[in-house]
Structure 1
Amino acid sequence: MIKHIVMWKLKDFAEGKDKIENAKFIKTSLEELRNRIKQIKFLEVGININNSEQAYDAVLYSEFENVEDLNFYKNHPEHLKVSEFCSKVRSARVVTDYEI
């Protein structure tokens, strides 16, 4: 099992929306991928409620059966659309993938 975690710090304003609106759009867009990419075993998106400067604004937690399924997800056209949007509205991003 592969776990894939991504966190984003979002710009205060980007693509015509504020940080909260963009976080909600990212959440909805990623959650919709569950119905489009069968390789996703589990997917959860959270929006930060912690006011710390160190906190990230949105987080993705997802699970895949193996590395091949994760790579399929990463390169899927629907995921690439969401990823492109995230690139436009983020100021920072961290990611980790690990196997259990």
Structure 2
Amino acid sequence: MIRHIVLFGFESYPSGQSKEQFLKEAKAAFEELPQHIDCLKSLKVSFNINPNESYDLMLEGVLSSADEIEIYAKHPEHVARVKQYIKPFVSKRACVDIEE
């Protein structure tokens, strides 16, 4: 089993949305992905509760093998959400893939 963990720090948010609204909307959108991507066994999305830290959002996906990370990353449903919620607003990203 592979845990694909990604942290995001955002520098801006969509016009008219608060940070909290944006993060809740992004969380809901990403949590739908296991319904669309067969290799994604589960996806947990969490908010950072410490305002003094630089990352705002954590995604933790579970996949069966390391080969599936690329399948997940290139899947159109994942790409669409990254294009809408991540790329326009993110200032930093960190990723780790752990084999259990």
Q: Same fold (TM over 0.5)?
A: yes
Please state how far the C-alpha of 1:41 moved relative to its aligned partner: 1.3
- In terms of fraction of residues, the more helix-rich structure is 1
> Structure 1 residue 37 and structure 2 residue 34: aligned?
no
Partner secondary structure for residue 82 of structure 1: helix
1:66 corresponds in structure 2 to 65
CA distance in structure 1 between the aligned counterparts of 2:96 and 2:14, rounded to whole angstroms: 26
Misfit runs of 4+, over 2 Å: none
Cα deviation 1:21-75 (Å, max 9, x = unaligned)? 22112111110111111111121000121122x2411100111001222211110
Structure 1, 74-83 or 84-93: larger mean CA deviation: 84-93
Residue type of the partner of 1:18? Answer: S
1:6-45 to 2 correspondence within 5 Å? 6-11=6-11, 13-16=12-15, 17-45=17-45
> Structure 1 residue 57 and structure 2 residue 52: aligned?
no
Cα deviation 1:2-26 (Å, max 9, x = unaligned)? 1100111112x43222322221121
CA distance in structure 2 between the aligned counterparts of 1:92 and 1:69, rounded to whole angstroms: 24
> Structure 1 residue 75 and structure 2 residue 71: aligned?
no
Q: Structure 2: 5+ residue runs without aligned partners?
A: none
Q: Structure 1: 5+ residue runs without aligned partners?
A: none
Residue type of the partner of 2:48? Answer: N
* Identity across matched positions, percent: 31
Q: What is the number of residues matched between the two proteins?
A: 98
Partner secondary structure for residue 88 of structure 2: helix
> Structure 1 residue 92 and structure 2 residue 81: aligned?
no
